[in-house]
Structure 1
Amino acid sequence: MKNIVIIGCGKGIGLAAARLLAGQHHITGISRSDALELQHPNIEFHRKDILTETLDDIVFPDVVDGLIYAPGSINLKPLNRLTEEDFKHDFEINVLGAVKIIQKLLPHLRKPETASVVLFSSVAAKLGMPFHASVAASKSAVEGLVRSLAAEFSAQKIRFNAVAPSLTDTSLAAHLLSTPEKREASAKRHPLQRIGSAEEIAGLAAFLISDQASWITGQVLGADGGMSRIRL
């Protein structure tokens, strides 16, 4: 049984990852929202905002085999409506929060024979999309962080990878999928003609945590219905 820490496990992809992994692993879950759906004997849940609250009162397992950092943001606006605070907020959620928990857990991640960290990017970091300036900038920083840390910690056998989804059916994206018309239009923008599910994205994160992915590091894996690679 591995010890896995999941940040942002209260909703969406983080919640799906906790459910998927709890059957075989011990999960330490942290979320700023209540996680009423995470009633499982293998899940130890802490309600905290990782950006504003200290983590010093959480007793993490001595050995941490994996970390999934799943908080995210969808702040889509024209550039002239994006403020400096918008850019700062997206960067704090996607990058600085990840750095904070990685630094906190680094002594624990060094203890197993091999450990794995999974962050989240976005298809918008590769594919120029209107109104995505703030989120694309912060997610591009996530990709740079992943590659840098993968190089820095390769000798210590700590793997760093990222998953880059397109629009996924979660509460975070609810306003973009709020009507049948919006949902259909969003689906048609993808070569596979549908929206991704939180469970599908969580499955890829779970794979990257697993021993089956032990030779994968420094990668950004797209889970985007073909959007970043296929033109029809």
Structure 2
Amino acid sequence: MTRAGRFLHANGLTLVFGTAFVLALAGQAVTGHADFNNQLVAEQLHPVSFGGYLLTSDFAVDVTENWQSEYLQFFLYIFGTVWLLQKGSPESKKLDKAGPEADEDQKVGRYAKPDSPRWASAGGVRQAWYSRSLGTLMCTLFLLSWLTQSITGVAAYNEEHLRELQAPISWFEYLGAADFWNRTLQNWQSELLAVGSMAIFSVYLRQRGSPESKPVGSAHTSTGVEGG
């Protein structure tokens, strides 16, 4: 296998999903541009160019409202599964493993291996931060994308109201507006439903070869067992 082939084989999951993301985002931009111009024409306004649409608050809020819900899902799932368990699910730890677990189990401090990340063997703040770095990153990305959604959302909301000759509102007023919470909660409920469904369905159903499923022959009561 060539060097390029080995790289593709070792990074296929990231590359495929990354490419699919770019294509889906491009598709959203194209269809969103068409829909946006249809609305402008219906209101007897001039349509905008594709480049102009990419700079609009309408496009930005549609993108960021989805991003924040996805990062919220990962943040809650990463932190929630430290303590919350589901008997029989590969998405859960074993029932006696609730909590942050012992240093030996986590291979930190004096239990770190030669190939462990450097900060796993460090003490103090560095190890404490690194031990929670994934959840911290997801929380930060969620908060930043939610903040961006609120800023672009109020801009889009005010643009629509100005076209209808209605007075704009402030950012603080928008945070309490039905439009903001409707956009937010319709994404949150779908993400929470998906996570909960995956946790319970994986107790009884299987997908051969997937690490997100238990091995096909594992008992329904087997917890924290993943396939491969």
TM-score normalised by structure 1 residue count: 0.27
Which structure has more relative contact order (CA 8 Å, sep 6+)? It is: 2
The structure carrying a bigger helix percent of its residues is: 2
TM-score normalised by structure 2 residue count: 0.27
